[in-house]
Amino acid sequence: MATYPVRQLTKMQRLMGCINLFRRHGDKSWLKWGPSASVDFEPNITTQPVYTNEFGDRRLLRNITTLKEGTVNINELSAFTDLTYAATFVAEQKYLEQEAVANGTLIIEDAVVPGIYQIPGVNGAVTGISDGADVDFIENTHFTFHSATNLIEVLSKPVGADADLAIAYTLPEITAADGILNLEVMSASGTRGEFMCIGMIADSDNGVPMTLYLPDVEFRPSGAISAGDTENVNTVGLTGSVYTTADKGYGTLTGQRKIVNA
């Protein structure tokens, strides 16, 4: 005689990780979006109730569905790829382009010293600073220079220097192929394309991994974006509006193997 009238379900609990992939409409390759704390799909079904009043009181007969929509949330995304920056700052993913400058000069009249100044462009080099006449400034004594931002901090003036600064500099040629992001913040309405969440579970865990595929999602930031934080690992959150498509509907959820109930 069986101990229980119905055999228990013992293998259906699941602890599933997720590999996030995204592909813009028109692109050939998927992009890795990196690790996130969790991914949530939230359906929203709106219904219109239908009642009968033939019993002396109104009684619910059915709910007629009038709206189907959904959102997908990527929570605590921690890989800051080009795609992550573009999506969280609501910008088109563009890259810096810069013409080479072999011999440029920036003149600052009546310069404030100490002071911070910037030459045009990025990744430049300062070949010399003078007062525009005969007095030269010495790097790390009278000024420091940061190439990535082209910022110059003038610390002091040499004895006898005039009020002006003449900064001689060079700039390298930079093309989109160099891959330096140059985003115009909030220039887009969102980041739109296909989204895939590939479920992953440990070999020893119960449950079956599932793959969620959404053919048309538009992602936007779901909250504040860390511009700088040394107290915590920098993370961002994204929320995506799930759109229906003519040939694929809202999407699919596919198991990676057969579900064994017990």
- How does strand 143-146 pair with strand 125-130? unpaired
Which residues form the domain of 145? 101-178
Residue 3 domain-assigned?
no
Rounded to 5 degrees, φ, ψ at 49 are: -75, 145
Contact 197, 212 (CB under 8 A): yes
Same domain, 192 and 227: yes
Is the residue at 124 inside a domain?
A: yes
Q: Answer yes or no: is 4 within a domain.
A: no
* Length of the chain, in residues: 262
149 and 31 in one domain? no
How far, in Å, CA of 241 to CA of 247, rounded? 18
Residue 42 lies in a domain: yes
Measure CA of the first residue to CA of the last residue in the chain; give whole Å.
19
SS3 category, 50: strand
List the chain pLDDT tens, one digit each, 262 residues: 778 888 888 777 888 888 999 999 999 999 998 889 999 999 999 999 999 999 889 999 999 999 999 999 999 998 899 999 999 999 999 999 999 999 999 999 999 999 999 999 999 999 999 987 788 999 999 999 999 999 999 999 998 888 899 999 999 999 999 999 999 999 999 999 999 999 888 877 777 889 999 999 999 999 888 888 888 888 999 999 999 999 989 999 998 888 777 5
Residue 66 and residue 135 in one domain: no
Are 196 and 231 within one domain? yes
Asked if residue 36 and residue 146 are part of one domain, the reply reads no
In a shared domain, residues 108 and 172 = yes
Residues 44 and 111 in one domain: no
Residues 6+ apart with CB under 8 A from 10: 206, 262
CATH number of the domain encompassing residue 72: 2.30.110
Output the pLDDT for position 262. Answer: 58
- In terms of domains, do 114 and 241 share one? no
Tell me which of 178, 211, 241 is where a domain ends.
Answer: 178
Q: Are residues 47 and 106 in the same domain?
A: no
Q: Tell me the pairing of strands 31-32 and 17-24.
A: antiparallel
Q: Say yes or no: 57 and 172 in one domain.
A: no
The answer to whether 142 touches 156, Cβ cutoff 8 Å, is yes
Domain end position, chosen among 144, 178, 212: 178
DSSP string, 74-143: EEEE----HHHHHHHTT----B--B--EEEEEEEETT--SSEEEE-SSSS-EEEEEE-SSSPBP-BTTTE
178 three-state secondary structure: helix
9 in any annotated domain: no
For residue 209, give Cα distances in angstroms to 17, 123, 145: 8, 46, 52
Mapping DSSP onto H, E and C, the string for 15-47 reads CCEEEEEEEECCCCCCEECCCCCEEEEEEEEEE
Asked if the structure places residue 261 within a domain, the reply is no
Using the 3D structure, point to which of 178, 198, 228 is the last residue of a domain. Answer: 178
The answer as to whether 262 is a domain residue is no
The residues that bridge with 167 in the sheet, in sequence order, are: 106, 129
Could you give the number of structural domains in the chain?
2
Q: Report the b/e string of 222-250 with b at 16+ CB within 10 A.
A: beeeeeeeeeeeebbbbbbebeeeeeeeb
Same domain for 124 and 249? no
- Is there a domain that residue 1 lies in? no
Q: Tokens for 211?
A: 């793959």
pTM for this structure?
0.84
| Same-domain status, 86 and 137 | no
